[in-house]
Structure 1
Amino acid sequence: MNQTGRIHDSLTIAMDKKLTQLSNNYRHEPFIHRVHDRLRRQNERAYEPELLSIGPYNRGKPALQVMEKHKHRYLQLLLQRRGESSVDRYVTTIRALEERARGCYEEDIDLYANDSFVEMLVLDGCFIVELCRKSENKSLADHRDVLFKREYLHHLIWRDMLLFENQIPFFVVDELFNMTKSTQEDCDKRTMVDLLLLFYNNTRKYYHYHTKFSGKNHWLQNASHGIDSGDVKHVLGLIHLHLFKLSLSSKQSPDRNCDSSVRWEFIHSTTELREAGIRFRVKHDSSLFDLTFSNGMLEISLITVDTKTECLLRNLIAYEQSLGNNDLKMVTDYVTLLYCIIKSPKDVSLLRRYGIINNMVGDDEAVSNTYTNTSSCVFVSHDRFCYKEVFNEVNAHCRQRRNIWKAKLRRNYFNSPWTVISFLAALFLLMLTFLQTLVALVPNLAHLHAALVT
């Protein structure tokens, strides 16, 4: 065979090998990705862990090494509590899941030496399980456990657990939970979904469900909202799925039919809507995404804004952008809604006075910037926008001239108690003047009538 033939053969072999590897990699659709550069450039810190590394993408970063010691400590305490002296059982189980777990990542994970990938899954998975257990049952926490002596760390840890790039497959966490389940957890039919949502509840005080139920296990059934572990991809995906379930269970949830034939336009800011006669009211006992409009009243669920809000929204949006085109993008649409009605600190001030915004950052401009900045990373589907029907109703109301006149009258003459009092006083004086004139005219009219008769 000539030189050209040998080159051709070697090239064929190399290309066939790459295609075979590519085929193997795509046996399962990956769902743990890197953040797109376009999103990262807008706010890199929103996607970077502050304290905790979960999964391979942030593994080994110097600033996160302190938590690695806590992971080993949590694994050691788990073994002691269960009376076990070796991690062999867990390593063997997770090693059997290694290939499946690797296929969940978009990138090839270069952690082969000394079973580094399996070690990472065992340490990270057991840490998540034990952290949630101790959060739900404080008696399990060691008195020397710094993470529970300093509860503010829970907020940082939970924030890092919800980062788009800071994930491991949920089936790994779920397997480790089932392997280490206590007798009480087994009797209560407790799931890893329950524990994670309860940890979310304990960490985020403005959570959207309450555990005031009768019956021993009722709270557990409500906590998971019927979410099956097999439907969960990772921790961030669980919270997204949970919010979606809450929205569907609401009596007044956003439109889920998403008729692609319906045309719609964005609504104006709170200030402009108010000038057009739209009234605002907070919507109690509803899911985060609820928005209703009726008889000129726009009802919006409570919006709590803190220092972690932009980070959470950005990572949820990054997750939604990794989903298929037919999946509803609730958070993306919700951020679009908030960007429409919040264009300035004045809009924030108005919504705060209506009780719709709970401003935990203290600065109205900072709240306005949160949604202005976050909206820059969204891509709204015109056909599947959740709030298109409400937007059309609001815009139709604003176009009615009589509503604009009523709004101007209310703003110019009835915008404070003093203007109302002044109007009533002027009206009273006008009526007195009219009556006085009428009384004065009555005798003259009588004389005129008599003269005409004669």
Structure 2
Amino acid sequence: MTTTYELRIRNDRHVVDIAAPDMGVPATGRNSPNQTGGGEIHTEWLRELTSVPRNAAVLKDLISRTPALWFLGERPATILRPRSRRAGVKGLHEVRAVAIGPYHRGDRGLAFDDESKLPFLRYLRGQCGLDLEECVAALGAARGSFRDEFADDAAAADLLRDEEKFVKMLLLDSSFVLVFGLMFGRPGSRVNGAAASVTREHFVLHSALAQHADEIRLDLLVLENQVPFAAVELLAASCRRLKLRSVEELVLGCFDSICPRRAHGKVDLETTDARFCHILHLFHWSRVPENKYRVLSMPLKLLEAEPEPERRIPCARELQRAAVWFRKPSLDTEGTIRGGDLDMEFWTAAASPIALMSIPSFHIFPYTAALLHNMVAFERHFHWAHGVCATVHVARMEGLVRCPQDAALLRRRRVLGSVKCTDEEVVDFFRGIGVEATGVRMPEEYGEMLAAVARHRRRRARRWCGDFILHFLPSPWVAVSLAAVAALIIVPAMLQTIYTILGYQSSR
């Protein structure tokens, strides 16, 4: 007698399950020798291989290890300590004036501790009509989602687990951020002038903040020194007499004086539906171009097609020798750079021996290293959702500036603007920041530029053109001088010839 099995196939997230035999025949878990032709084959392992719980666990693990599937997995924490190179670059992630969030709560020497934040909360209650009880209730109801924004950290475990301390931290930090935005944000963000009335309390708080305004701006852009932006929005919504067009625009206006500047199309926040995790996320979104640098990895064919030395962009002098001209990017009707301060483009034509590379002016200020460090750290952890624009820009600039002569060339081309550092310090600056970009996956735009530059450099005519310009026309003033000399020699000779011909014809 043969044993008959019924195979029941269920479409449960692409998992096929083999049900237990239920045909009135005992489940022996083995095949009959009559069927197999000899020898018994145990089949208990089939149920283990096709079980739904085991497959679901494996799929969950694959999703957690695949950045491209971030939207299918659990949302990771967005406020964390960037642990790469922390020991040697303490100045790039430390706070100077105020601790926002749990990680720097115990730092000494800060201008604004928890006790100093109480007047900001009282200011919102008195001047903006803050309903404190309603706000605390709303923060407490959402404390679970707010807690998920912070990564686990041994130093901040007690504060994150204690519900009362956690809600108090959210309340005080959100009050500080909101008042700082009201006093130093972009004018016009406040529709209602209720919060702008000048009182003794307003004067004291404004003077205290103005004394440390530059340090506070940098502290609010540190990856581990953040508070969930939804908590700030909830606090603003609880202020009855405060009417804002956009809380994001109010806070982002505090950073208009910080380079890099806003990208094209990121000026008006009222037209976007993006939701921001924290202030650094908001700042990063406002500085990167739209719909670029979002691809997770560079195509392997672009990497395999080029030798090892050409897997990064050539230096500025090598590009100059290959007849590549550097120019500033074009501006739109509003006077802003189309791609922003963190975008580069490369153009070349088959019929032209000259190529163009558009590079925005890169300004190095005392805060630039810390700012780029935090932007690159943000992209390192969240490149799957927010792109790697800052990382690509750092990698390109590191390739362009490899020696002091490269820095001097870009300085003459006004690519490095308002730089107070020496050429050697500029090289060290990009080399130090470039270490942060090591190991980060690059988008297609990076590989496409490398491939276009490599194709341009392989053509002999362009190398000859570059050598001719480098040796005989090293400066635009040389070309102008040659044109002036040619004009002084050729134009009088042509005029003399014309006058001679006219005189001869008139004499006839």
TM-score scaled by length of structure 2: 0.67
* Secondary structure at 1:361 match in 2: coil
Which of 9, 18, 30 lines up with 2:77 in the alignment?
30
Residue of structure 1 equivalent to 2:369? 310
Residue of structure 2 equivalent to 1:12? none
Tell me if the contact between 1:361 and 1:367 (Cα under 8 Å) persists in the aligned partners.
Answer: no
Residue of structure 2 equivalent to 1:290? 343
> Residues 43-442 of structure 1: matches in 2 within 5 Å?
43-64=89-110, 66-83=112-129, 87-107=132-152, 109-111=157-159, 115-136=164-185, 139-140=196-197, 142=201, 144-145=203-204, 147-148=206-207, 151=210, 153-180=212-239, 182=241, 184-185=243-244, 190-201=245-256, 203-204=257-258, 207-208=261-262, 222-224=267-269, 226-228=271-273, 231-244=275-288, 247-248=289-290, 260-264=299-303, 265-284=311-330, 285-286=337-338, 287-295=340-348, 296-323=355-382, 325=384, 328-381=387-440, 384-416=443-475, 417=477
Cα drift, residue 69 of structure 1 = 4.3
Cα drift, residue 131 of structure 1 = 0.9
Sort the Cα spacing of 1:205 and 1:39 in 2 relative to 1 into closer, same or farther, 3 A.
closer
Tell me if the contact between 2:388 and 2:442 (Cα under 8 Å) persists in the aligned partners.
Answer: no
Tell me if the contact between 2:328 and 2:361 (Cα under 8 Å) persists in the aligned partners.
Answer: yes
Residue of structure 1 equivalent to 2:85? 39
Give me the whole-angstrom Cα distance separating, in 2, the residues matched to 1:369 and 1:335: 13
Cα drift, residue 255 of structure 1 = 8.3
* Secondary structure at 1:301 match in 2: coil
Q: Which amino acid aligns with 1:204?
A: I
* Secondary structure at 1:263 match in 2: helix
| Percent identical residues | 22
Give me the whole-angstrom Cα distance separating, in 1, the residues matched to 2:209 and 2:108: 22
The Cα offsets for residues 291-342 of structure 1, whole Å up to 9 and x where unpaired, read as 1222311111221221111111111111112126575322111111111111
The Cα offsets for residues 162-191 of structure 1, whole Å up to 9 and x where unpaired, read as 101101112111111111264542xxxx12
The root-mean-square deviation of aligned C-alpha atoms, in Å, is 3.3
Cα drift, residue 237 of structure 1 = 1.3
Sort the Cα spacing of 1:266 and 1:205 in 2 relative to 1 into closer, same or farther, 3 A.
closer
Give me the whole-angstrom Cα distance separating, in 2, the residues matched to 1:307 and 1:177: 33
Sort the Cα spacing of 1:163 and 1:80 in 2 relative to 1 into closer, same or farther, 3 A.
same
Give me the whole-angstrom Cα distance separating, in 2, the residues matched to 1:79 and 1:421: 70
Give me the whole-angstrom Cα distance separating, in 1, the residues matched to 2:407 and 2:222: 27
Cα drift, residue 93 of structure 1 = 2.1
Give the structure with the higher percent helix: 1
* Secondary structure at 1:293 match in 2: strand
Sort the Cα spacing of 1:57 and 1:402 in 2 relative to 1 into closer, same or farther, 3 A.
same
Sort the Cα spacing of 1:358 and 1:145 in 2 relative to 1 into closer, same or farther, 3 A.
farther
Unaligned ranges ≥5, structure 1 = 1-25, 212-220, 430-454
Give me the whole-angstrom Cα distance separating, in 1, the residues matched to 2:445 and 2:208: 43
The Cα offsets for residues 35-57 of structure 1, whole Å up to 9 and x where unpaired, read as 21x32124111011011100000
Give me the whole-angstrom Cα distance separating, in 2, the residues matched to 1:31 and 1:76: 29
Give me the whole-angstrom Cα distance separating, in 1, the residues matched to 2:413 and 2:395: 20
* Secondary structure at 2:407 match in 1: helix
TM-score scaled by length of structure 1: 0.74
Give the stretch that moved more between structures: 323-332 or 256-265.
Answer: 256-265
Sort the Cα spacing of 1:44 and 1:386 in 2 relative to 1 into closer, same or farther, 3 A.
farther
Give me the whole-angstrom Cα distance separating, in 2, the residues matched to 1:376 and 1:144: 44
Sort the Cα spacing of 1:382 and 1:64 in 2 relative to 1 into closer, same or farther, 3 A.
closer
Cα drift, residue 149 of structure 1 = 6.8
* Secondary structure at 1:145 match in 2: helix
* Secondary structure at 1:173 match in 2: helix
Tell me if the contact between 1:46 and 1:310 (Cα under 8 Å) persists in the aligned partners.
Answer: yes
* Secondary structure at 2:110 match in 1: helix
Unaligned ranges ≥5, structure 2 = 1-72, 188-194, 304-310, 331-336, 349-354, 490-508
Give me the whole-angstrom Cα distance separating, in 2, the residues matched to 1:269 and 1:53: 40
Residue of structure 2 equivalent to 1:6? none
Tell me if the contact between 1:47 and 1:163 (Cα under 8 Å) persists in the aligned partners.
Answer: yes
Sort the Cα spacing of 1:209 and 1:104 in 2 relative to 1 into closer, same or farther, 3 A.
closer
Give me the whole-angstrom Cα distance separating, in 1, the residues matched to 2:384 and 2:170: 30
